[in-house]
Amino acid sequence: MDRLSALLLTLIASGSLPVSYSACIPAMGMTCMLENLNMLTDGLTTLRQIEPKVFYNIQVRMLRVPNNPAGAFLIRAAEFVNNVEIFVYREQEFQILAGTNLNVVNVLEAKSLKQIVIAEGDITIKELYVYSCMLDRIPPTIGNLPLLTDLTFYRCTMRNLSFNALRKNLRLKTLDLSYNEIDTIVPLTNADGEVSLAIENLYLGSNRLENLDMTAFERLSNLTMLDLQYNNLMKIAAERTVSWPAMEMLDVSYNQLSTIDLQWLSAPNLKRLLMSNNLLDKIPQRLRRFPNLQLIGLSYNKMAAIDLAPLNGLPTLSSIDVSSNPAARFIRSSRPVRLPMLDTLYAENCALNRFNTSGIDLPVIGYISLANNNFSTIPPLGQSFPAIVSFSLYNNPLPCALLKARAELILSGKLILGPPQDASECPDGSTTIAPSFLLCCKA
């Protein structure tokens, strides 16, 4: 028979509602909503009466089952649906038995769950998601899900991640262990020779990593995205070269990094390097190792000056963000720098008062934002960068006389100073550059 896409369950144990035949209440997303479903009485009959051509999901507000709503229950559910989503799961153990013919199991809140036990043999589950649980490690039996492509344990209590637990999940592409307590990564050991894992997307954000030897990840040879946001990383280093030929995005934002040296990393395809919200005092060196970089994020760091020199030799870099470095007073380049594809530069919310464009060659730059800085002159961006369409000096202490003199630049849309204002919003003075076009400025 045709199976429905999902059985969405809210398991609220106990209570004693009268047992009655519950017909579908149609809901959003072609959902059949059932107020209650009692698998001890007429539950199966009710499920069998739901027409798969009319409804796509079944949502059950209250489900009654003889015992733990995993194990045998999942096999039963698989007669009717491909995906099971359990809103609240109250047991300590979750069993998946041989013959469980489901694609997706999604458990949204499992505050007591300590153990997942997966039997050997013929389980078709491809995606397993568990949110809010008490698991302290990847279940040792996870290898009994050979078709698994996506695995999530989000907001659980894992302390370490051992890749050995996943050595039989050779199709696993996405692993999300965000919001755990992981402080240790145990690399794959050599027991089976040179096994590589297929993981492409690895989310380890919001954990407790401090000092990470990146060789722990080296057998993840297909890694495309590594998310290490919101840890306590002071250092990311490796004792030998780690090669990630497919790596496109490395995110180390929201850590405690005061330097980043990526010389251990061979990632010729890296496109996005995100390092915002750290303690960096300059743009990292040796970025030329990554000739396909398109985006560099460096906002919310501790740069006192923004020296663009380390960016030289990045032929495809199209956007860079150095905003919110509150101590940064100027942008310059200590050596000639040419960025043939740079299209946008964000340097907002700093204390910039100078942009020395000499030696900086940005042939296609279209937009530069210097909003919320400390410029009292208009840097010569139009002359230095012929392709520029516009640049913003919104909320800088520009003198009123200067704005009046450069009214044309503003009215043409090239110099952006924000929408017309009202004199009452301007604590330091204002000027009218055209009929009913008043701007704040420094009198």
Ligand X SMILES: *[C@@H]1O[C@H](CO)[C@@H](O)[C@H](O)[C@H]1NC(C)=O
Choices 4-12, 36-44, 47-55, 349-357 (CB under 6 A): range interacting with ligand X: 349-357
Binding-site member from 48, 111, 159, 208 for ligand X (CB under 6 A): 159
- Considering only 54-62, 233-241, 354-362, 420-428, which stretch makes contact with ligand X by CB under 6 A? 354-362
Long-range (24+ apart) CB contacts under 8 A made by 102-111 are: 102/74, 102/77, 102/78, 103/127, 104/6, 104/128, 104/129, 105/74, 105/129, 107/131, 107/133, 108/132, 110/86, 110/134
Residue linked to tokens 């302390």? 159
Residue 12, both tokens: 């609220």
Please tell me the distance from the alpha carbon of residue 26 to that of residue 52, in angstroms, as a whole number: 13
Judged by CB, which is closer to ligand X: 137, or 406?
Answer: 137
- Select from 18-26, 35-43, 204-212, 352-360 the region that touches ligand X (CB under 6 A): 352-360
First to last CA, the chain: 78
Interface residue with ligand X among 49, 112, 189, 196 (CB under 6 A) is: 196
State the nearest-atom distance from the C-beta of 183 to ligand X, in Å.
9
DSSP state of 442: B
Residue 332 engages ligand X in binding (rule: CB under 6 A):
yes
Q: Which is nearer to ligand X, 184 or 319 (CB)?
A: 184
**Looking at 84-92, 224-232, 355-363, 422-430, which segment touches ligand X (CB under 6 A)?**
355-363
| Spatial separation of the C-alpha atoms in residues 48 and 35, rounded to whole Å | 16
Q: Residue of minimal CB distance from ligand X?
A: 198
Window contacting ligand X (CB under 6 A); options: 226-234, 351-359, 384-392, 402-410: 351-359
With CB under 6 A as the contact rule, the residue among 101, 149, 164, 184 that binds ligand X is: 184
Backbone φ and ψ for 213, nearest 5 degrees, come out as: -90, 110
| Spatial distance between the Cα atoms of 259 and 310, rounded to a whole number of angstroms | 14
Q: Which of 19, 54, 186, 411 binds ligand X (CB under 6 A)?
A: 186
Q: Which is nearer to ligand X, 305 or 407 (CB)?
A: 305
In one letter, which amino acid is 403?
L
Nearer to ligand X, 101 or 222 (CB): 222
Q: Applying CB under 6 A, which of residues 374, 384, 421, 432 lies at the interface with ligand X? A: 374
Tokens of 156: 């659980």
Determine, following the binding rule CB under 6 A, whether residue 198 of this chain makes contact with ligand X.
yes
Minimum gap (Å) between residue 116 Cβ and ligand X: 14
Residue 353 binds ligand X, judged by CB under 6 A: yes
Interface pick for ligand X out of 160, 201, 292, 432 (rule CB under 6 A): 160
Phi/psi at 164 (5° precision): -60, -30
222 belongs to the binding site for ligand X (CB under 6 A): yes
Stretch of 23-31, 74-82, 283-291, 348-356 contacting ligand X, by CB under 6 A: 348-356
Q: Which of 88, 108, 351, 426 binds ligand X (CB under 6 A)?
A: 351
Residue (22 or 169) nearer to ligand X, CB? 169
Measured from the CB of residue 159, what is the shortest distance to ligand X in angstroms? Answer: 5
Residue 204 contacts residue 184 (beta carbons within 8 Å): no
DSSP secondary structure letters along 154-199: ES----EEEGGGGTT-TT--EEE--SS---EEEPPPGGGSS-----
For position 402 contacting ligand X by CB under 6 A, the verdict is: no
Q: Give me the residues paired with residue 419 across strands.
A: none
Alpha helical stretches, state H, 320-426: 381-384, 400-405, 407-411
CB of residue 33 to ligand X, shortest distance in Å: 40
Residue 200: CB minimum distance to ligand X, A: 8
Using CA atoms, how far residue 301 sits from 214, 306, 342, in Å, is 23, 11, 21
Minimum separation from the CB atom of position 351 to ligand X (A): 3
Q: Based on CB atoms, which residue is closest to ligand X, 80 or 394?
A: 394
Structure tokens belonging to residue 439: 């701007």
The 3-class SS string of 208-264 reads CCCEEEHHHHCCCCCCCEEECCCCCCCEEECCCCEECCCCCEEECCCCCCCCCCCCC
Residues interacting with ligand X, by CB under 6 A? Answer: 136-137, 159-160, 184, 186, 196, 198, 221-222, 332, 351, 353, 356, 358-359, 374, 376
